[in-house]
Amino acid sequence: MMKKTFIYSLLFLFLAIAGCNNGKKADDTIRQSNPVFPKGEILTSEHFTGTVWFHMMGASDSTLHTRFGNVTFEPKARTNWHSHPGGQILLITRGKGYYQAKGHPAMILHKGDVVEVPPNAVHWHGAGPDGEFAHIAISLNTDEGGAVWSGPVTDEEYEGVNK
């Protein structure tokens, strides 16, 4: 009797899971229609190439010495080269993008990736060529200072990532 109950329980569990699949094959792409975090307002800054949106999250006068917000890049949009005296963490929430530290090859980023940027590491990040890219940017130890901006990432540098 116990064996039958166990088999029926497994069968029920299998059918319940299959029913949640809604007829999709395992390799079907699931598209999220609404982002988890607000897109925010368009940034107007010489420190970015292309259209970028920013939504501040949390208090800017925090005693935690962090600033964080959702950043969304249109295709090919990107930051200039820059560094953070206290370091930075990027939590990728949508799309395909890039991160590159000066003197190192670029990393391709996808939803779920995390980038830990060491203090004072000169780097850039932004969207791939084919779609929007979003991440939560967390600036750490902001009591040590804000972002230090350098020149733009040239089209040649950006295109070099795609080769």
CATH number at residue 145: 2.60.120.10
pLDDT score at 17 = 38
**Interatomic CA distance for residues 72 and 132, integer angstroms:** 7
Per-residue burial over 64-75, b = 16 or more CB atoms within 10 Å of its CB, e = otherwise: eebbbbbbbbeb
- Could you report the per-residue pLDDT of 90-126, keeping only the tens digit for each? 999 999 999 999 999 999 999 999 999 999 999 999 9
**Exposure of 39 by Cβ count < 10 A (0-12 exposed, 13-18 middle, 19+ buried)?**
middle
- Could you report the per-residue pLDDT of 6-57, keeping only the tens digit for each? 334 433 333 343 344 444 444 444 454 566 788 999 999 999 999 999 999 9
Domain that holds residue 140: 38-161
Question: Is residue 147 domain-resident?
Answer: yes
pLDDT score at 33 = 53
pLDDT score at 30 = 45
* CA-to-CA dists, residue 148 to 57, 106, 121, 137, 160, angstroms: 21, 20, 10, 15, 24
Query: Which has more pLDDT, 80 or 162?
Result: 80
pLDDT score at 94 = 96
Question: Is residue 13 domain-resident?
Answer: no
Question: Is residue 64 domain-resident?
Answer: yes
**Interatomic CA distance for residues 52 and 112, integer angstroms:** 20
* Domain count within the chain: 1
